[in-house]
Amino acid sequence: MRGKDKRDKGMPRVGRTWGIRIGILLALVGAWTTVQAQMPVDDGTLTLRPMLQQLGDRLLKGKQGSIVAIRPETGEILCLTTNSAHGSDVSLAIATPYAPGSTFKTAQALMLLSEGIVTAETTVDCTNGFTDGNIHVGCHQHRSPLALPAALAVSCNTWFLSSFMSMLNDDFVYENQEEAITVWSNYMRSMGLGGALGVDIPGEKGGLVANVNYLNRRYKEGWNARTILWAGMGQGDITITPLQLCNLAVTIANRGFFYTPHIHRGTTEKPLAQRYLRRHTTKVAPDAYAPVIAGMRKAVENGTCSSINTTYPICGKTGTVENAGKDHSAFIGFAPMNDPKIAVAVYVEHGGFGADLAAPMAGLIIEAYLKGSLSATSQAKAKRIEGKVTLQLK
Which segment of 125-139, 216-230, 278-292 scores lowest on mean pLDDT? 125-139
For the chain, what percent of residues have pLDDT higher than 90? 78
pLDDT at 229 exceeding the cut of 80: yes
Is residue 335 a part of any domain in this protein? no
Which segment of 5-14, 114-123, 261-270, 279-288 scores lowest on mean pLDDT? 5-14
Is residue 25 a part of any domain in this protein? no
pLDDT at 394: 59
Q: Cβ distance 99 to 17 under 8 Å?
A: yes
Is residue 10 a part of any domain in this protein? no
pLDDT at 12 exceeding the cut of 70: no
pLDDT at 259: 98
Cα 280 to Cα 389: distance, rounded to the nearest angstrom: 39
Cα first-last separation, the chain: 27
Q: How many separate domains does the chain show?
A: 1
pLDDT at 52: 97
Q: What average pLDDT does the segment 313-327 reach?
A: 92
Nearest alpha carbon to residue 121 among 156, 146, 96: 146
pLDDT at 44: 52
Here the CATH number for the domain that contains residue 211 is: 3.40.710.10
247: containing domain: 31-326+354-386
pLDDT at 42 exceeding the cut of 70: no
pLDDT at 317 exceeding the cut of 80: yes
Is residue 169 a part of any domain in this protein? yes
Distance of CA 206 to the CA centre of its chain: 13
pLDDT, one tens digit per residue, over 240-264 is 999 999 999 999 999 999 999 999 9
Q: Indicate the pLDDT class of residue 365, thresholds 50, 70 and 90.
A: very high
pLDDT at 311: 92
Which segment of 15-24, 129-138, 307-316 scores lowest on mean pLDDT? 15-24
pLDDT at 295 exceeding the cut of 90: yes
Is residue 236 a part of any domain in this protein? yes
Which segment of 33-37, 51-55, 98-102 scores lowest on mean pLDDT? 33-37
Which segment of 1-15, 97-111, 184-198, 219-233 scores lowest on mean pLDDT? 1-15
User: Across all residues in the chain, what is the average pLDDT?
Assistant: 88
What one-letter code names the amino acid at 193?
L
- Residue 319 is classified by DSSP as E
Is residue 72 a part of any domain in this protein? yes
If DSSP states are collapsed to H, E and C, what string results for 351-394? CCCCCCCHHHHHHHHHHHHHHCCCCHHHHHHHHHHHCCCCCCCC
Is residue 285 a part of any domain in this protein? yes
Q: What average pLDDT does the segment 357-362 reach?
A: 98
Axis-axis angle for helices 177-190, 105-114 (nearest 10): 120
| Strand partners for 348 | 65, 329
Q: Cβ distance 234 to 210 under 8 Å?
A: no
Q: What average pLDDT does the segment 74-101 reach?
A: 96
